[in-house]
Every structure is written in C-alpha cells, then in structure tokens.
Amino acid sequence: MKRTEIASLGEFGLIDHLTKDINLVNQSSRRGVGDDAAVIDNNGKQTLVTTDLLLEGIHFDLIYVPLKHLGYKAAIVNFSDIYAMNGKPKQITVSLGISKRFSVEAIEDLYAGIRLACEIHDVDIVGGDTVSSLTGLTISITCVGVADEQEITYRNGANDTDLICVSGDLGAAYMGLQLLEREKSVYDGKGDFQPDFAGKEYILERQLKPEARKDIVQMLSENGIKPTSMIDISDGLSSDMLHICKQSNVGCRIFEDKIPIDYQTALMAETFNMNVTTAALNGGEDYELLFTVPLTMHSEIENLSGIHLIGHTTKPELGNYLVTRDGQEMELTAQGWDQLSR
C-alpha cells in the first residue's frame, strides 16, 4: 500500500486533503473548514466556533515560557480567531493533558493566565476536560463567539483593487522567540545564569503575552468600516495574505517599505544578522489583523490610529508579489509556521 509522508503535504495541504470532500448537510452550518472560525446559524444570530491545540515541545517550551503566560496566550489565540471573523468571543472550554511532573500549583498558574485573558475579554469558561498525559502538557481550547450575519467577515471577500491593511507591527513575536532560544542555548543548565533581556521587553511580551485586537475590531465598527476580507496573522504575513488571495481569487502587491516594524524588532534582527523583512513576512504569532477594504475607503483608513496601508489586491493572473524598497518584485511564498512540514 502506498505511503504518503505527512510532511510532503504540510499542515494546510493535509487539511485540504482531509476536508476537500466534506459537504455540510445541516442548513444551520453556514461555514465549515477554511476560515478562522466555523459559522453556525442559530435563528438569525451567527455562532462562531474555533479551536486550538497546543503541544509541549511543538508549540511551547516550558524552559522559558511561564505557565501563567502560556495560559493567557492559549486563550488569546482563540479570541483572535473570533475577532478575525468580526465577531465577539463569549465562551471557551478548556481541555488539558497533564503529566505527573506538574503540581496542582503549576496548573493553578496556567489557569490563572486563562482566567485573566477571559476577564479582559469578557469571556466565560464553561467546561472542558482533564486527562493524564505521558508526553508532557497538552492544551486544547475551543472558543464560541457571536456575530450578526451581515457583520461577519470571511477570507473570501476581497476584490480586485482593494486596499490591504494591517494593525500594529510585525515580526516582533518571532524576534522575541529568537531571543528566548538564544538565551536558552547559553543557559544550558547553568544554575546561576542571568538572561540578557534588558531593553528587549517589547519583543519578549509580543512572544510570551500576545494580545487579540479587540480594539481594532471596535474601532473599525465605530467608524462604519466593514473589511471585505480579514484574517489574523498567526502563520506570518506572507502565508496569511496568500490565504486571502487564494480564497478571494485575487492577486496582491505588498510594499516592503510600508510593512510596520518596531525599532526593537529591527535592532534584534540586526543583532542576529537576519533580514527584518523576512522576519515580518514569515515569523508569525503576531496576532495582528490583516484585512482588505475598498479603495474608496482610503481616506477613512488612513486617518485611523494603529492601521497601516501596506498594499493592494490585483487581478489573480498578476500573481502575489512583494515590491522591494528598490522597486523589484519578489514572489510571495508561504514560508511561515507549518508544524507538519517539520
């Protein structure tokens, strides 16, 4: 029997392969696999459902990730998916796989982070499951949100000539991870080791304690702006932009000199002798919102704080490219986080 290695498909290729023949049979199932959250119709009010699975050694390293921060991040990444649909998170269930090396106090710390995230975003913990694990810590969180049907924003709504916008700045979480990994390698079990984090607090926080952009969703709503498409940047600007382009059947031009990058991010990239644009394009875990709006909304978007115009969509046959600072075009490729290709 033929054996196909999972790595040959990668994460998104495997998802496409497993779900390509799934047909939704319930009228209430409005949107299934392929967006940031599923959409279920409950008598006119739309229910959004998303889930995220985090595995020790794959998604986090407890040598440098505090459990409270881990709990906070595990909840936030789910809220971010709901916000990326232009919805509001309301409830979560939390399921844990726990090995014997963890104490009650350790799990209390993890839960303290989850509860803090829920308090900030007005989300209820309504259930879950806890089981024994032989392979470390596993965290699975499912988030339920709501949205009015006319307000939901999908990945497939972008049109030719739309403006491409992003919130915040990019690449900081990835550079924070590089810093943590460097200090871990230097530490190597030394009991009296003191990591060098002075002046690097911002990029560390972006990696260890990311924020879901509830404020951006609220600001867009208050200004009467509904994006034509939207996604949160979890896998990197390049990968996530290509998701929008594929599902909307458009091309894109992203301008390198318009990509927002924080000073600490640029400084750390220089320290590591890395190209900061590469970090911003492919790093991932920024959890900023990437969205498109009609060209006619240029002036409205330009006046909003924390929103950056980074490019525009094109006809699909024109392809997907990064326009460099010197005017050259480089094809965008999905080089972001893909755990199944490792």
| pLDDT tops 80 at residue 257 | yes
* pLDDT given at position 29: 65
What is d(CA 221, CA 226) in angstroms, rounded to the nearest whole number?
Answer: 7
Strand runs (DSSP E) across the chain, as ranges? Answer: 29-31, 38-42, 45-55, 88-98, 124-132, 138-148, 163-167, 229-232, 251-255, 289-293, 307-314, 320-323, 329-331
pLDDT tier for residue 294 given thresholds of 50, 70 and 90? very high
pLDDT tier for residue 27 given thresholds of 50, 70 and 90? low
Q: Which of 322, 263, 335 is nearest to 11 (CA)?
A: 335
pLDDT tier for residue 342 given thresholds of 50, 70 and 90? very low
What is the residue whose two structure tokens read 């595995």?
A: 55
User: Could you give the percent of the chain with pLDDT greater than 90?
Assistant: 67
Tell me: the pLDDT tens digits for 162-215? 999 999 999 999 999 999 998 888 766 666 667 778 889 999 999 999 999 999
What's the whole-number mean pLDDT along residues 271-298? 96
* pLDDT given at position 68: 97
Show Cβ contacts of residue 313 under 8 Å, excluding neighbours closer than 6 positions: 158, 159, 160, 161, 162, 164, 245, 248, 250, 251, 252, 292
Q: In what order do the strands lie in the sheet with 29-31?
A: 29-31, 38-42, 45-55, 138-148, 88-98, 124-132
Tell me: the pLDDT tens digits for 45-70? 789 999 999 999 999 999 999 999 99
Tell me: the pLDDT tens digits for 298-323? 999 999 999 999 999 999 999 999 99
What is d(CA 297, CA 163) in angstroms, rounded to the nearest whole number?
Answer: 8
User: Comparing 187 with 118, which gets the higher pLDDT?
Assistant: 118
* pLDDT given at position 22: 61
- DSSP assignment of 195-249: ---TT-HHHHHHHHS----HHHHHHHHHTT---SEEEE-SS-HHHHHHHHHHHHT
Q: At 158, is the secondary structure helix, strand, or coil?
A: coil
* pLDDT given at position 18: 59
Q: What is the pTM of this model?
A: 0.87
pLDDT tier for residue 25 given thresholds of 50, 70 and 90? low
Burial of 140 (0-12, 13-18, 19+ CB in 10 A): middle
| pLDDT tops 50 at residue 275 | yes
What's the whole-number mean pLDDT along residues 111-140? 89
Angle of CA points 168, 76, 119, to nearest 5°: 110
| pLDDT tops 50 at residue 340 | no
Mean pLDDT of the chain: 89
Mean pLDDT is lowest, of 15-24, 47-56, 279-288, 298-307, for 15-24
Asked whether the beta carbons of 284 and 234 are under 8 A apart, the reply is yes
| pLDDT tops 60 at residue 339 | no
User: Comparing 80 with 27, which gets the higher pLDDT?
Assistant: 80
**Which domains can be identified in the chain, with CATH numbers?**
6-151 (3.30.1330.10), 163-341 (3.90.650.10)
* pLDDT given at position 217: 97
Show Cβ contacts of residue 217 under 8 Å, excluding neighbours closer than 6 positions: 83, 86, 289
* pLDDT given at position 11: 58
